[in-house]
Structure 1
Amino acid sequence: MTDPILYRRQAAYNFWMTNKLYATCGQMSDAERKADRGAFFRSIHSTLNHLLFGDRIWMGRFTGRSHEHRGMGVDIYDDFGELEQAHRAMAAEIEAFAAGLTPEWLAGTLRWTNTTGTRTLERPRWLLVSHLFNHQTHHRGQITTLLSQSGLDIGVTDLPFMPDLGD
């Protein structure tokens, strides 16, 4: 089955990229971050909130720990500093979670009810942990595009060039 080292690497990458995102987004004014740019979640700020929303929902399902959210598409934090602090804490929580993954746990299934309470689903855990990281990559790509359109370059984002791989 799936080797947990893959998810440890993805968690480290998420931590690295979260720091890069916030460092770059911090160069913008609050109004610039919150401007509607035509993205699915409208603004950079709301897309960052959605990233945190997704992480919180899935980590809650994986760990049983409850995390505050207001529903899909609703900002959890209006204040950028609070959002950044919460997002960095979640990235660290994901790293700690990934450090404890085992092949046996990943081989199991997870049963959960969606956030609206209308559907109960069951899928392999390895698939859902993969989705957590895929979801992050998808929305970070949207944000890096919006940053680029605003004249800001986040820099290198390629996994093989992440510093301190420890290999």
Structure 2
Amino acid sequence: MMIEPGYVRMMARYNAWQNRQLSDALDGVPLEVLRADHGAFFGSILGTLNHILWADRLWMSRFAPDLQAPPEGGIVTSTELCPTFAVWGAERFAMDGMIARWAKGLHAVDLAGALRFHSRSLGREARSPMAQCVIHMFNHQTHHRGQVHAMLTKSKIGAPVSDLFLMPEETE
């Protein structure tokens, strides 16, 4: 399995676009609403957003350890990463910038071969194709943002458009 650096850059743009839209949609929503348990896998809107950010930090610590240290805690406590939406927004903006910078510097050879890492969920060392791990990071984001979209809809908060083909063109 091989992916191109252009795919990674497109997905980094998509990730940042989706997070900007979520940030805009959730701006001003009371913290009680963001922390309300909706019965989703990670419970709340903020909990799910925190989990995505935590996982992005984890994957980026594997892909670019010089840019990102592994996050504290594990999957269970990942929902508590940022205590407020404002903190999440600032941390998310920084992470999206990091992912974009990393993607911009990728070459095809960087996506070849295997990635060796410690899997917290397995509790042991793991080895997977680098391309598959990169695809997984972006798929994981999209999967859990879909859960956030459902929680927004349930809460009667306008859920942003998420169709990839509707992503605005790059302006740079």
**Using the alignment, how far apart are the partners of 2:70 and 2:117 within structure 1?**
15
CA deviations over 1:118-152 (Å, ceiling 9, x no partner): 21110111100000000000000000110011112
Identity value in percent: 37
Q: Which residue does 2:144 correspond to in 1?
A: 139
Q: What amino acid sits opposite 1:66 in the alignment?
A: A
Q: Give the alignment of 1:103-122 within 5 angstroms.
A: 103-115=108-120, 118-122=123-127
Alignment check: 8 A CA contact 2:118 2:124 kept: yes
- Give deviations 1:5-64, integer Å, cap 9, x for gaps: 011000000000011111112242100000111111010010010000110000001111
Partner of 2:49: 48
Shift of 1:105: 1.1
What is the distance in 2 between the residues matched to 1:12 and 1:50? 20
Alignment partner for residue 73 of structure 1, among 58, 72, 76? Answer: 76
Gaps of at least 5 residues in structure 2 are none
Indicate whether 1:96 and 2:101 are aligned. Answer: yes
Q: Deviation at 1:79?
A: 1.9
Task: Output the CA distance in 1 between the equivalents of 2:98 and 2:126.
Answer: 24
Unaligned stretches of 5+ residues in structure 1: none
Report the equivalent of 1:25: 26
Query: Given residue 52 of structure 1, which amino acid in structure 2 is its aligned partner?
Result: L
2:22–2:160 Cα contact (<8 Å) kept:
no
The TM-score normalised by the length of structure 1 is 0.94
CA distance in 2, matches of 1:116, 1:72: 8
Deviates more, 1:139-148 or 1:108-117: 108-117
Counterpart contact for 1:109–1:124, Cα < 8 Å:
yes
How many residue pairs get matched? 167
CA distance in 1, matches of 2:38, 2:47: 11
**Cα distance, 1:70 vs. partner?**
2.4
Q: How many Å separate the matches in 1 of 2:37 and 2:84?
A: 17
Q: Which residue of 2 aligns with 1:59?
A: 60
SS at match of 1:88: helix
Cα offset, 1:67, TM superposition: 4.1
Query: Which ranges of 4 or more aligned residues in structure 1 deviate by more than 6 Å?
Result: none
How do 1:80-91 and structure 2 match up within 5 A? Answer: 80-91=85-96
Q: Offset of 1:76 from its aligned partner?
A: 0.9
Contact between 1:61 and 1:112, CA under 8 Å: does it hold in 2? yes
Corresponding letter in the other structure for 2:24 = A
